[in-house]
Amino acid sequence: LAPGHMVTGGQALIDETRRIVEAFSTGPHIFNLGHGITPEADPANVELMLRAIRG
């Protein structure tokens, strides 16, 4: 997931997270942020991403 999504959040974050999860749904997958969590990231967006991953 591109780190910019952790800054902007919203529906784009949810949609991209779900797209990635679906793309790798055929086997085990460790969800990863492309460059980690940057200082600009909103902690609420981390929670939003985790909820999208967990369904």
pLDDT in tens, 16-52: 999 999 999 999 989 988 788 999 999 999 999 999 9
* Rounded (10°) CA dihedral 16, 20, 25, 29: -130
Distance separating alpha carbons of residues 23 and 9, to the nearest angstrom? 20
Distance separating alpha carbons of residues 35 and 38, to the nearest angstrom? 7
pTM of the model: 0.88
How many domains, in total, are found in the chain?
1
Which regions of the chain does DSSP assign to beta strands (E)? none
Which residues form the domain of 8? 4-54
| pLDDT of 36 | 86
